[in-house]
Amino acid sequence: MSDSTPTSTTGSSLVKRGLADMLKGGVIMDVINVEQARIAEDAGATAVMALERVPADIRAQGGVARMSDPDMIDEIIKAVNIPVMAKARIGHFVEAQILETLGVDYIDESEVLSPADYVNHIDKWKFTVPFVCGATNLGEALRRITEGAAMIRSKGEAGTGDVSEATKHIRTITKEIAALRHLREDELYVAAKELQAPIETVREVAATGKLPVVLFTAGGVATPADAALMMQLGADGVFVGSGIFKSGDPAARAAAIVKATTFFDDARVVAEASRGLGEAMVGINVADIPAPHRLAERGW
Amino acid sequence: MTHEGSPLTIGVLALQGDFREHLHVVSSLGEKAVTVRRAAELDEIDGLIIPGGESSVMDKLSRTFELAEPLKAAIASGLPVYGTCAGLIMLADRILDGMAGQQTLGGLDVSVRRNAFGSQRDSFEEDLDVPVLDGESVHAVFIRAPVVDEVGPLATPLGTLADGRVVAVEQGNLLGTSFHPEMTHDYRFHEYFVEKVRARRA
């Protein structure tokens, strides 16, 4: 900002984590073009995730999945007022540099794309733009936060429409946090070793009973009931990928999932939101996917 | 905090956004904090906070769940309301750069520009002088923040950036800030609001 004073600071943890706080209680929707982005915004999405292929298509078509074309991301940024997120491959810090230059509001270092580095994740502290990363358990979440992630989403199994992995991951994370609460101070050292996470972060989670950043859930959410389930299990909000634009009536389903996320604890609203939505995405049972093809196992 | 009389009941609009942070601030000031998602819940509160979040989502949900009209009526009847960020947009009479068809509740005679600073990488923290609050400057956190582009004759600016742009404003029982005091440990804006609520109840 040319007009800032010397006391003005950008890219601080407070500012990065703060945007995730503003997204809470909301639905972040995968979109592949301007038309879908507008439908998502109109339906009440708190943000959109711009990507070239939704996970269901990445899964069906195979091949290497990479960062989207900058032109497509630019068009979506111009088309909507809500925050725009985009995905970079795990460890691909140059894709992240490009996305930052484009002015996306959040970068998802995502297992849905093909990893670029099977050893290192991106050093996210080097960026002004905040990052969200996937996690299947508490240790993985804390390692990503240590690398600078300002938001965590449980991974689930993207592109399936099967919510069971999302359930497993959010339950695992919340259960592991609860377990830390009951440990004695001198037991936290071993807990940190087992979680493969720094003792300072483990102490903070044990003291507060929550992650130091916002926790969304993702991967397999396809119905209003799925979204409300995630919220009742303790998620701060939900990502919906293929579930909306692979369904029969995306606009209606998107709006219904937004309603169910806000009124997640009111079964009458969720029931009402579930009516007349047409066909949900067909989906694929996670149990039918051979382990090497499961996206959640990318990242560590 | 010590204060006279029984605790006030302060609602926080809980359709979407950082409402939990506001609930925490209200409780820590010794007042009773409740969530508001239904029109009937407005009858139970002495004041209301509209949190940060996405203003287009709050607009849509407040209309879908028939909360917008009762909220407008409550504001017109003098209910004290404090809006932060998206909440400021909701309280503005006029919105610039909003989503097509986006509506506000109104009440503050101002024009507010949505995302006035650019994308998230331009979000920032800065110290502000706010003369109505005693003591040192306010450390303000701006996240894809709006700015008050034009202050009408009925509204009063309370704080500006170094370049003169207005980021805090009041009008009678309404208070709005572009930034998020609920994300810091400086609750003077909330205290200032609670005083308005207490004065009205008295």
Could you tell me if B115 lies within 8 Å of chain A, comparing CB atoms?
yes
Confidence band, pLDDT 50/70/90 cuts, at residue A297? confident
Give alpha helix (H) positions in A80-131: 93-102
pLDDT at A33 over 70: yes
DSSP-derived letter for residue A67 is P
Cβ contact (<8 Å) for B144 and A129?
no
Buried b (16+ CB within 10 A) or exposed e, B28-66: ebebebeebbebebbeebbbbbbbbbbbbbbbbbbeebe
Helix A164-181 × helix A224-232 angle, to 10°: 10
SS3 A132: strand
List the one residue out of A50, A39, A76, A84 whose CA is nearest residue A253: A39
Radius of gyration of chain A (CA): 18
Please give the interface size between A and B, counted as residue pairs whose CB atoms are below 8 Å apart. Answer: 134
List the one residue out of A171, A135, A163, A175 whose CA is nearest residue A151: A135
Q: Where is A122: in which H helix or E strand?
A: none
Question: What pLDDT shows up at residue B3?
Answer: 53
A151 CA: distance to closest CA in chain B (Å) = 14
The model carries a pTM of: 0.95
pLDDT at A22 over 50: yes
Question: What pLDDT shows up at residue A296?
Answer: 87
Q: Where is B113: in which H helix or E strand?
A: strand B108-113
Angstrom distance (rounded) from CA B62 to CA B56: 10
pLDDT at A282 over 90: no
Could you give the dihedral angle defined by the CA atoms of residues B64, B67, B69 and B75, in that order, rounded to the nearest 10 degrees?
-150
- If you average pLDDT over residues A192-207, what whole number do you get? 97
Nearest CA in chain A to B53: A22
Task: State the catalytic residue, choosing from B85, B150, B170, B195.
Answer: B85
Cβ contact (<8 Å) for B17 and A11?
no
Nearest CA in chain A to B16: A25
* Cβ-contact A153, A132 below 8 angstroms: yes
pLDDT at A1 over 70: no
Residue type at A283?
G
Per-residue pLDDT of chain B (202 residues), as tens digits, is 445 678 999 999 999 999 999 999 999 999 999 999 999 999 999 999 999 999 999 999 999 999 999 999 999 999 999 999 999 999 999 999 999 899 999 999 999 999 999 999 999 999 999 999 988 999 999 999 999 999 999 999 999 999 999 999 999 999 999 999 999 999 999 999 999 999 998 8
Cβ contact (<8 Å) for A24 and B98?
no
- If you average pLDDT over residues A79-85, what whole number do you get? 97
For chain A, list residues whose CB is within 8 angstroms of any CB belonging to chain B: 1, 3-5, 7-12, 14-16, 18-19, 21-26, 41-42, 44-47, 77, 80-83, 100, 103-106, 128-130, 258-259, 262-263
Cβ contact (<8 Å) for A81 and B121?
no
> Cβ atoms within 10 A of the Cβ of A288, count?
8
Nearest CA in chain B to A5: B162
The 10s digit of each residue's pLDDT in A147-187 is 999 999 999 999 899 999 999 999 999 999 999 999 999 99
Angstrom distance (rounded) from CA A17 to CA B125: 13
- Please state, in angstroms and as integers, the Cα–Cα distance from residue A48 to each residue in A33, A264, B42, following that order: 11, 21, 32
Look up tokens 């050893």; give the residue. A119
The 10s digit of each residue's pLDDT in A121-133 is 999 999 999 999 9
Cβ contact (<8 Å) for B57 and A19?
no
Determine whether B185 is an active site residue. Answer: no
All residues of chain A having their beta carbon less than 8 Å from the beta carbon of residue B141 are: 14-15, 18
Question: What pLDDT shows up at residue A36?
Answer: 97
List the one residue out of B111, B138, B134, B114 whose CA is nearest residue B125: B138
Cβ contact (<8 Å) for A19 and B144?
yes
| Mean predicted lDDT score pLDDT of chain A | 94
Share of residues in chain A with pLDDT > 90 (%): 84
> From the list A15, A41, A258, which residue is nearest B124 (CB)?
A15
A286 CA: distance to closest CA in chain B (Å) = 31
pLDDT at A144 over 80: yes
Question: What pLDDT shows up at residue A3?
Answer: 45
For residue A209, count CB atoms less than 10 angstroms from its CB and return exposed for 0-12, middle for 13-18, buried for 19 or more.
exposed
Angstrom distance (rounded) from CA B138 to CA B73: 32
All residues of chain A having their beta carbon less than 8 Å from the beta carbon of residue B125 are: 8-9, 12, 14-15
Cβ contact (<8 Å) for A10 and B121?
yes
Question: What pLDDT shows up at residue A285?
Answer: 86
- If you average pLDDT over residues A179-203, what whole number do you get? 97
